Amino acid sequence: MTLIFGIETSCDETAAAVVEANAEGKLRLRANIVASQVEMHRKYGGVFPEVAARMHVETIHAVAHEALLAADVQPDQLDAIAVTHGPGLAGSLLVGVNFAKGLALAWDKPLIGVNHLEGHIYSLWLSDHADSLRFPALCLLISGGHTELVLVRGHGDYALLGGTLDDAVGEAFDKVARVLGLGYPGGPAIERAAREGNPHAYTFARADLGEERPYAFSFSGIKTAVMRAVQPQPAHSRRARGEESLREGNLRADVNIADAAASFQAAAVEMLIEPTLRAAQDYSVTAIWLAGGVSANKYLRTQLAARTALPVYAPPLPLCTDNAAMIAAAGYFRYAAGQRDSLALDVQPMLPLA
Ligand code: KG4
Ligand code: ZN
């Protein structure tokens, strides 16, 4: 049996977890603690890096302690400490990486740096489908900072097929939710509001990226399209100068929020599905995997499954958004492959997956 301690502080969740692997490499989640900064960031309508880093410093000890208690594991039983070292906010990453280094030194355990995006992919190994995962697979990695199509050829073997040219899809959900006055984080709020709405009520222009970029995404246009459809029209002169601005919850009287949320969600999901199906066909994959915060979206899950004969696998709902269980899971496979990092491990805010 192998026990991996995972630590994640790349953005606004302070998280620690313990994952156990048996001799066959089958994973079991022993503890998963997430201290969310959502309440604090709700006040500002988003994540402020300085605030996020400070909150990590304040909570990381308690979160780590609680994870060990919940797992009923003593430090000397651990086999390695896995920690997110990028991509993410530099100040936030530093807190987790330095904390992990301290533990590795104090407990005399190997340190393993994990890519946050790889962590999202490995959240699938903590799902009920873990035994069905085969390579090559196509992973649609969708979060607040990323929208990427990744060909997963084997453990730790990735090829980036395409990504967003501008905003990430999670960012679009968050911004549209603000426009509609639905609060932060926007994804779950839009999904909830959309359940009561008509997805055909509004037509939002979809990005046309042309045939030379078959696996690309673009989400900045749809955000503007929603703003134009629901906000009072700015004076023509301001609009001509590009001075339209995001005004939270300032809606025209005739706007139906549920309809707008449902129409936006349907358009955004459609924009995710098309390039995904194209890539799945072009690369003859065994399955389509969803990962990242936006993969929690049930409408996306059902729409995608309805449009393909391939199996569609997604992480358990609590492991879609940022957590340390996924970091421990990815860390286990890196540990098994022999990766050991020195105490010189540094944060890499722009760390690419491939
Ligand atoms: O993976 P994650 O927790 O953090 C990043 O690495 O970015 O993803 C957070 C993003 C946010 O933009 C949030 O609005 C979105 O995931 N999200 C959702 C849903 N739940 C979270 N988007 C759509 N539908 C959801 N149910
Ligand atoms: Zn994430």
Its pTM stands at 0.95
| Shortest-distance atom of ligand 1 to CA 320 | 1
CATH T-level topology, domain 2-127+319-336: Nucleotidyltransferase; domain 5 (3.30.420)
**pLDDT value of position 43:** 76
11 Cα–ligand 2 center, Å: 8
The tokens for 78 are 């651990």
pLDDT of residue 303: 98
Q: What are the residues facing 217 on neighbouring strands? A: 164
**pLDDT for the residue 248:** 73
Interacting residues of 130 by C-beta distance below 8 A, sequence separation 6+: 26, 27, 124
Q: How far apart are CA 223 and CA 215, in angstroms?
A: 20
Do 137 and 152 contact (CB within 8 A), yes or no? Answer: yes
Q: H/E element holding 103?
A: helix 90-107
Q: What is the pLDDT of residue 244?
A: 58
Boundaries of every domain in the chain: 2-127+319-336, 135-314
If one counts every other C-beta atom within 10 angstroms of the C-beta of residue 325, the result is 32
Going 303 to 172 to 90 to 55, the CA torsion angle's sign is negative
pLDDT at 243: 55
Regions of the chain with pLDDT less than 70: 45, 235-247
Fold of the domain built from segment(s) 135-314: Nucleotidyltransferase; domain 5 (3.30.420)
Mark 48-80 as b/e (b = at least 16 C-beta within 10 Å). beebbbbbbbebbeebbeebbeebebeeeebbb
DSSP 156: T
Say what the pLDDT of residue 113 is: 98
Residues with CB under 6 A from ligand 1: 11, 143-145, 170, 173-174, 185-188, 191, 292-294, 296-297, 321-322
Identical fold between 2-127+319-336 and 135-314 = yes
